[in-house]
Amino acid sequence: MNNTKQGGRLLSVDLARGLAVFFMIAIHVLTVFGNLEVQESVFGQVIQFFGGPPAAPVFMLLMGFSFMYSHKTELKAKLLRGFSIFLAGYLLNLLRFVIPFETGKWLMPDLIESTLLSELSVYTLFTTVDILQFAGIALMIMALIQKMNINKWAILCIAVVVTLISPLLWGISTDVPAVDFFLDLLWGDHKVPLFENSIAFPLFPWLTFPLLGMFLGETIKFSSNQTKSFKIMGLIGGIVLLIGAAFVVVNPEYQFNDYYHSRQGAMIFMCGFVMLWLYIAKLLTDRIPPNPLFELIYKWSRGVTNIYFIHWVIIGWSIGLFGIQNSSYLTVIALILGITVISHILNILLGKKKKKKVINR
């Protein structure tokens, strides 16, 4: 079997996305449960780095990349899939935030009152914009772009424009709740207790990543020499990373802001990083023979949506047991490993159930 491809999939993509799944679980466990000492330690800083550029930006860029590799289906089917993912974001908010926190008010009022949870309304918890809402909207936009046969260079230009203008749009509102609900999806910016921001993934600037992914995906797909194309991508990514770093190093806090509303320099840095990261993943899958660890990581990549959903529900309901930002090194490590294992097992079971349904049809 080809070390770099499996069932038509690029294993370098699955490796990068699968690693992002683990980094995602680690950063969420750290930020929710880790105490200040753990978060500010070298251990915490390492997790925060790998939970940054190698996590969400990788997910979003690879969503666009994989979209260009997927079989073409009707526009209606893609729009419906995007809308279903969008709605799944609110279902997740209900299961990980609203229900456990409201249950906590009844069963453990002291815990709720002793944390910033008491300052969060049910509306804020339910309408938090996370990666699923963003991914759903982005998928619908990509479907429309594909339907209109927009040139890949035009797509790249749109990505650049999104990066440049985003800071000018954040927080624009009308004071009309129904209108602002939709504007928040585009460029909302609401600081709230406990969370960095209730609008974690606004379309501006995050749309940059799937658009860049579409450009790279089409480039690699139609390349006569994918190995060479990946190498060029890695080289350009390294240059872009250095350009972004030149802006970031002057004022890191300004550029990365709250991370979810990163400014131009930070966005350039992360775009370059992800391109270089994908090239590194390509080198690893080319040079390292198939092995159980890589196969495990590939499974995480293929079950990314299930694992994302599962791990957040577990975290939401575990707050009653471990509190918020109150756990030691050992507890954080145990939670990272435990939630990863449980999420993996449940993802496998869901996959078998889905496969069984298909066979029985």
pLDDT per residue rounded down to tens, the chain (361 residues): 445 666 567 999 999 999 999 999 999 999 999 999 999 999 999 999 999 999 999 999 999 999 998 777 789 999 999 999 999 999 999 999 999 988 988 888 777 776 667 778 899 999 999 999 999 999 999 999 999 999 999 999 999 999 999 999 999 999 999 999 999 999 999 888 777 789 999 999 999 999 999 999 999 999 999 999 999 999 999 999 999 999 999 999 999 999 999 999 999 999 999 999 999 999 999 999 999 999 999 999 999 999 999 999 999 999 988 988 999 999 999 999 999 999 999 999 998 877 666 555 5
Angle between helical axes of 264-287 and 208-221 (0-180°, round to 10): 40
By the 10 Å C-beta count (0-12 exposed, 13-18 middle, 19+ buried), 168 is classed as: exposed
Range of the domain at 47: 1-51+292-361
What pLDDT score was predicted for residue 360?
53
Q: Is residue 261 part of a domain?
A: no
Angle between helical axes of 131-147 and 208-221 (0-180°, round to 10): 50
What pLDDT score was predicted for residue 1?
42
Those residues with Cβ within 8 angstroms of residue 360's Cβ, 6 or more apart along the chain or in another chain: none
Give CA–CA dist 51/59, Å, rounded.
11
Q: Note if the pTM is more than 0.75.
A: yes
Give CA–CA dist 257/284, Å, rounded.
33
Q: Is residue 227 part of a domain?
A: no
What pLDDT score was predicted for residue 194?
72
What pLDDT score was predicted for residue 272?
98
Give CA–CA dist 202/130, Å, rounded.
8
* Structure tokens that stand for 60 in this block: 């979003």
Q: Is residue 44 part of a domain?
A: yes
Q: Please give the backbone phi and psi of residue 109, each rounded to the nearest 5 degrees, phi first.
A: -60, -30
> Domain total for the chain?
1
Helix (H) or strand (E) holding 142: helix 131-147
Q: Is residue 345 part of a domain?
A: yes
Q: Is residue 43 part of a domain?
A: yes
